[in-house]
Structure 1
Amino acid sequence: MERQIKLIWDFRGPAAQKTAEHHVIHLKEYVAIEKLPITIIEYKILAPEHTIAYMVVNDEQMKQLRDVLKPHRGELYE
């Protein structure tokens, strides 16, 4: 099985959750427009004022999407 990478965007502050939710909408739009085979695009509340938006991509897609979408960080997805 190919390695999967979680591309992560961090949002902090009182509007972090709403901002992350909105970012997920844009990520899903991008995936639809580009017809990419990506199904995991979500957000997760880590703390009251820290929420992340993320998408899980295959290792081969990572570099291209990283350069275009500019995530704040990435990690292996398990």
Structure 2
Amino acid sequence: MRKLKLIWDFKGPDGLKIAEHHEKHLKEYIAIEKLSLNITGFEVINSFHAIAYLVVNENEMRPVRDALKPHRGQVYIEN
């Protein structure tokens, strides 16, 4: 089954701080909704752009997307 990475973009000088905080809420959502995967994170794109992300199985994507409204998504490729 494909895994999808749902992404939230945060821009500006506080983008990293906001992305890091948003990840905490994503972890809370995983626990409350009992999602099958527990993969979250945040990354710096550049000094004015950071992202927070949540990885879900494709069959769980629609309800999570509708509830959390990510800015974008992509296929998740494990390292």
Partner of 1:42: 41
Letter in 2 for 1:73: R
Aligned length: 77
Runs (5+) with no aligned partner, structure 2: none
User: Over aligned residues, Cα RMSD in angstroms?
Assistant: 0.7
Partner of 2:19: 20
1:53 has 2:42 as partner? no
1:14-61 C-alpha deviation (Å, 9 max, x unpaired): 000000000000010111111212211000101011000001111101
Q: In structure 1, the residue corresponding to 2:23 is in which secondary structure?
A: helix
Q: Give identity over the alignment, percent.
A: 55
Q: In structure 2, the residue corresponding to 1:38 is in which secondary structure?
A: coil
Q: In structure 2, the residue corresponding to 1:36 is in which secondary structure?
A: coil
Spell out structure 1 runs of 4+ moving beyond 4 A. none
Q: In the aligned structure 1, how far is the partner of 2:52 from the partner of 2:36?
A: 18
Runs (5+) with no aligned partner, structure 1: none
Letter in 2 for 1:30: Y
